[in-house]
Chains A and B, each alone.
Chain A
């Protein structure tokens, strides 16, 4: 559908079109808002959330981190205090152990206000039959051997599931960009076997010798809707665009941002 939309857009403006970088003068960021973002998983790696202020949309604006908040993450049994290290990042203690299937509550106290969000850490299905396949499309390969990854998994029966997957070269920062990965939910496919899924981004295919990591997250239906909101907002330009609007948040108390707790699976392979 995106291809069709792009085609129509080009057709709409095929007569002539001019693009100019312009200066815009309008009120920005009059009321700074607190932003809390976090994506904790059961993977064996440091888990953190980030607190920052909104910054002006236009111009050069580095993030505006907040370091003085009091942050607690609770499961059904106990709460853990997160500690600030740098750049508005608050880390869970090293002894924290994820409880898959439990619902987590994140509570942030800041300047006398409390912001709260909850998210269930859903079980993530196993990654099956993970392999790399050489791309044969000559327009993409340009005489170099490039590869994409393919995998399968069993969707968990019961409606309300959604998944996010991303593949990247181990140690790279590719995984740090939301839309280098893909997401889907179990609408119309509840309980089905997802076979030979291709998620590699054709702008960053893999080469021989690359150690490729595949992360699969069980994010829940509501979070897939959040990702759809974000996608809608940042990929504007089609004739079918909806009016711009704030993406949803699962925080109460007036903060924006989103908190995700998800079960995850990770597999690696070396391209040969």
Chain B
């Protein structure tokens, strides 16, 4: 309650101080990339003399209110040349800035350009946040040479992966479904292709991504553990441009161009060809035509934006991805995929007030057809989401930035409709109960600078869930048996309301040191029924209900941040403790597929996670990259599972060490390398057995009490760019990569086999997915 009172008092004070700022003027505008016209997110706007500043928002907009007078304002962005602009502020002024990657800068206002890296690591209140530059991602070695942003995120401290080559990730003790993965604000419910080996994100279409592992800004909600906010490129507003690549598994192409003076568009697509290559190799090997099997994916990203006038700008973007897996000779066809569309309207009410209105639609669906003789079986499942969001930013003065907004989401889930046919005649239909719910939230937060040393970002989010009928709900006894059934007609039949305080503070200890602390509460109302480690397309999401209460997580974190060598090297260390309430897991031998009574198989308990994360990062120079180490622990305690005792979560991997490095030998040749080491994933191995009617039956003593062997891997890449030619627009490069360079056969799983020669003997067998994987990719852009 104290936290909530302090937050309210702080916000009132910020608004009060706004009322007394009548002799001040506002400098505002847009910060863009000089070459492409793309908005620059989180660019710094700073006045050294008075130590006042701000950063650009997600749309490149900035606003800085100062007393009347002359100022030298520095605009900077990592990897770009700074611009220092002299401003005579006697009235509100609009100043649009374009920053360039090279020394050739635009505009008459430039008075100096000096390279300097900002010390955001030390200065900002943000902690538990990782921003990975997409260009850095492209320099690193990748599986099959295919650049994948999720795989790079897995190399960050506090982020775990389970299973070789998979694109799922686990943040600070949270399950994979506790990550909110946003693409242009629309959630992606299954962010992977090819059964988890590649993520849904085409690197050529992505501009920026940010991962929040804690200290969650109040604007975000709905998931417990992290937000991965990915923004697509708006499209080059300066000239027609393109990029693409041909790899061993897929090819991609992205095109972008201006739309007149005021807009631009971007269109990007990918298509894999594993099945085509597989058939070709088989035909060469056997000389026979192969069956008509299909195993491929494709995805499309599109975005456009148009500036109506100085105060209004609209954006439209969409994503469509599809995976297809079919074996004609076995009568099986499976398809799954996401699609999203987002419409946004930016409106500048005044130089101090920026607003954005968003509508998005997100869909995840899959179907499975199976034919055998005259019988046919069809299963389809859909998750649809519509959302409306209004966000406002009030740049009150250099010491206060107030944000508030309203969000509303409609979740529609049809977990499964199963039909069986005989001779094309429908003989039975089985419908797993559909459900509908509304998730809403209002939030307010303020980033306030109290002194040179102390800065606090505080806010609160009030979230709610309403379950809407018609619906049938079950009542259970203590043995989890159904004792009663209640039918709800249309309208709201169940509601939850939760208050989520968020506080983060920074206290500077010196010019290059600071300590930061944060507390945040997050609530999750929709979750994935997940039981195993493997990624499958058959996801079943379900909302909180009368019986399944919303999951709640409280996280506290404390960090020390230091910059070295004129901010070239950033050091960070964080410790965190996270407590989960209403944590869910499934009972032993639960059946998740086609289960009408899924809630009856759920068990609800608590969980805890804690850890320390250390990172040293070098952003500039010929050598860039990071070294990170994480020690962490995550455990659950859920009735009826593991005899009600604490047990390791399936993604509990205490030690995690990564080295990520990129080195530019010269203008044409650069090298990249990753090394990863982590404790093996927890597994449940049988400790004994007995025999019943000739069948050997395993006995277990503790869930997730054993571990797979430790995981480690070394990757290399070399990128050779074409010779520079001022008269040629086309730039190309060859990327040579080796995944798993020393050919370690990391365990994907361990199974147990009965020796055929001696039935009383059981032995362990390790399955590994990848040995050494060399790959070559050709990329080009113009």
Chain A positions near chain B (C-beta within 8 angstroms): 1, 3-4, 7-8, 11-24, 26-33, 35, 37, 39, 52, 54-63, 173, 176-179, 228-230, 232-234, 236-237, 239-247, 256-258
Contact = CB atoms under 8 A, between A and B. Distances in A.
Contacts of A14: 274, 278, 295
27 contacts: A3-B330, A7-B330, A7-B332, A12-B534, A19-B766, A21-B765, A23-B764, A24-B764, A31-B701, A57-B687, A57-B688, A59-B761, A61-B689, A63-B690, A177-B694, A178-B693, A229-B589, A237-B751, A240-B536, A240-B592, A240-B593, A244-B686, A244-B703, A245-B589, A246-B699, A247-B589, A257-B692
A27 B702 CA distance: 11
B695 A60 contact: no
B699 A61 contact: no
A26 B752 CA distance: 14
Contact of A33 (B295, B538, B688): B688
B247 to A, nearest CB: 14
A244 B689 contact: no
A67 B589 CA distance: 33
B690 A35 contact: yes
Given A7-B330, A54-B690, A56-B688, A61 B760 contact: yes
A63 B588 CA distance: 26
B531 A242 contact: yes
Interface of B: 195-197, 274, 278, 295, 325, 327, 330, 332, 334, 368, 370, 531-532, 534-536, 538, 586, 588-593, 650, 684-701, 703-704, 706, 745, 748, 750-752, 758, 760-771
A31 to B, nearest CB: 7
B295 A242 contact: no
Contact of A18 (B690, B760, B771): B771
Given A8-B195, A17-B769, A247-B697, A28 B692 contact: no
A22 to B, nearest CB: 5
Contact of A30 (B332, B697, B701, B751): B701
Given A60-B761, A233-B698, A55 B689 contact: yes
A235 B690 CA distance: 16
A228 B697 CA distance: 12
A245 B703 CA distance: 7
B695 A26 contact: no
A26 B650 CA distance: 18
A61 B762 CA distance: 8
Contacts of A177: 693-695
Contact of B332 (A4, A15, A234): A4
B752 A58 contact: yes
A146 B594 CA distance: 36
Contacts of A239: 195, 532, 534-536
B768 A17 contact: yes
Contact of A60 (B197, B696, B758): B758
Given A20-B765, A57-B752, A244-B700, A176 B687 contact: no
Contacts of B704: 243
Given A14-B278, A15-B769, A28-B687, A39 B693 contact: yes
A258 B692 contact: yes
A256 B685 contact: no
Contacts of A11: 195, 295, 325
The 8 lowest CB-CB distance pairs between A and B, nearest first, are A245-B588, A54-B688, A239-B534, A177-B694, A178-B695, A35-B690, A57-B686, A244-B684
A242 B586 contact: yes
B763 A256 contact: no
B765 A57 contact: no
A215 B685 CA distance: 35
A237 B368 CA distance: 21
A37 B745 CA distance: 40
Nearest to A173: B694
Nearest to A24: B764
A230 B751 contact: no
B766 A22 contact: yes
Among A8, A236, A241, A243, chain B packs the most CB atoms within 10 A around the CB of: A243
A69 B628 CA distance: 59
Nearest to B532: A241
A3 B580 CA distance: 38
Given A7-B327, A18-B745, A178-B694, 9 more contacts: A19-B765, A26-B706, A52-B691, A54-B699, A57-B699, A229-B589, A230-B695, A241-B534, A243-B684
B690 A257 contact: yes
Contacts of A61: 689, 760-762
Contacts of A243: 531-532, 588, 650, 684, 703-704
Nearest to B195: A12
B607 to A, nearest CB: 15
Nearest to B430: A188
Nearest to B428: A188
B692 A178 contact: yes
A24 B593 contact: no
